Amino acid sequence: MQEQIFTATRRVPQFREMSWLKLKRAVLVSADAEGGTKLNAFDNALLKAGIGNANLVKLSSVVPPDIEWLSEPPSFPLGSVIFAVLSHIESDAHGKKISAAVGVGLCGSTEGGLIYEFSGECDGEEAMETVKRMVEEGFAVRNWKLSELKIAVAEHSVEKNGCALAGVVFFP
């Protein structure tokens, strides 16, 4: 058996030596759906949004610089790993109105920005106004200038098991 010994003097790679995945494209998505269970409603909303046949990796809320914004998700092979910031809510309360929204604030066309998510038992207008305020606050505390705001929202009136979903999906 071969032993590997690591000591405190082990060299730690510097950032310039590390390989980073560069995300180059993004798309806003939103959908609502019903399903036999709340999980099926979520899955059906993912399918309706065009991202249901992918393995989603959750991201935090920073938009990298130089993103190309797409109008719809590109095609990708079944089971692809794609990166997303998602907001979603599921409910089995008949007649309940649920909504999910994401707000994207950009510093400039090439400088990046921030994403905020919200979901709740409310209408789409309230969800949209909430993420707008969240983006504005995030920019204010960083002393950044907000040059563009993008919002995706989904609203759903629950019949049996419902889901509202909104997100930002990134692609290499």
Catalytic positions, please? Answer: 55, 60-61, 117
CA distances, 147 to each of 60, 110, 114, 144, 156 (Å): 21, 11, 12, 9, 30
Type of residue numbered 105: G
**Residue 149 class from Cβ within 10 Å (0-12 exposed, 13-18 middle, 19+ buried)?**
middle
What is the pairing mode between strands 148-157 and 97-108?
Answer: antiparallel
